Copies of this chain bind each other. A is one copy, B any other.
Amino acid sequence: MDDDPATEILEATYRALCRHGYADLTIKDIAAEADRSTASVHYYFDDKQTLFVEFLEYLYDRYTAQLAAIDGDTARDRLAALLETVLADDETGTGLEFRTAMLEVTAQAPYDDAIRARLAAFDDVLFDRIRAIIEDGIDRGEFDATVDPTVATEFLVTAVSGAYTRQVAMDRSPEQLRATMTRYVETRLLAE
């Protein structure tokens, strides 16, 4: 691997989180997943809390890059691609195990300022990306001019958050939720 050791440990944290969930996750689990000694993980990260905050920053960089890479000829295509990216249900980093662990992390946010600040950053970058697409769609006459970009964006960001919760906690199909949101875009945002 070309990655530096700290990045390898963060990548191993991802796999360990999916395997063990957040509450039970230990530095030992992460070390095992990274094929390293616990001491060598501690060399890079003092404790689980420090490692985990770094891990959220690593995820944030990845998420920001994913959102920036979304492309399409029209605003409608870009919004559909974005919804597919954030609601995909596959092994590229957004599977059920990962979302299950992230819901545990989210439930810890009210008790942990560092986690809350990082989760709010994910929320902000998604908000900004969606609003930019909607504003562009309105400017180009592709989306209905009566759409308020901030309101539509807030609604979509909130629904994405709810889609994760309903998938993880209530076994709702993320594919169906994605179809519902795409249909909202098709029928409620597009100009007639």
A132 to B55, CA, bound (A): 44
Q: Provide the residues of chain B in CB contact with A169, threshold 8 Å.
A: 106-107, 109-110, 116, 119
Binds B, one of A45-53, A74-82, A153-161: A153-161
Label chain A's interface by main secondary structure: helix
Q: Provide the residues of chain B in CB contact with A161, threshold 8 Å.
A: 161-162, 165-166
**Those of A167-192 within 8 Å (CB) of chain B:** 168-172, 176-177, 180-181, 183-184, 187-188
A142 to B158, CA, bound (A): 26
Asked, given contacts A155-B159, A183-B148, A183-B151, whether A106 binds B109 with beta carbons under 8 Å apart, the answer is no
Asked, given contacts A119-B170, A154-B180, A183-B151, whether A165 binds B106 with beta carbons under 8 Å apart, the answer is yes
**Those of A105-133 within 8 Å (CB) of chain B:** 106-107, 109-111, 116, 119-120, 123
Report how many copies the assembly holds. Answer: 2
A32 is an interface residue with CB less than 8 A from chain B: no
A84 is an interface residue with CB less than 8 A from chain B: no
Interface residues of A (CB under 8 A from B): 21, 100, 103-104, 106-107, 109-111, 116, 119-120, 123, 146, 148, 151, 154-155, 157-166, 168-172, 176-177, 180-181, 183-184, 187-188
Nearest 10 A-B pairs (CB), nearest first?
A162-B162, A161-B162, A109-B169, A107-B107, A158-B162, A104-B107, A120-B170, A103-B107, A106-B169, A154-B180
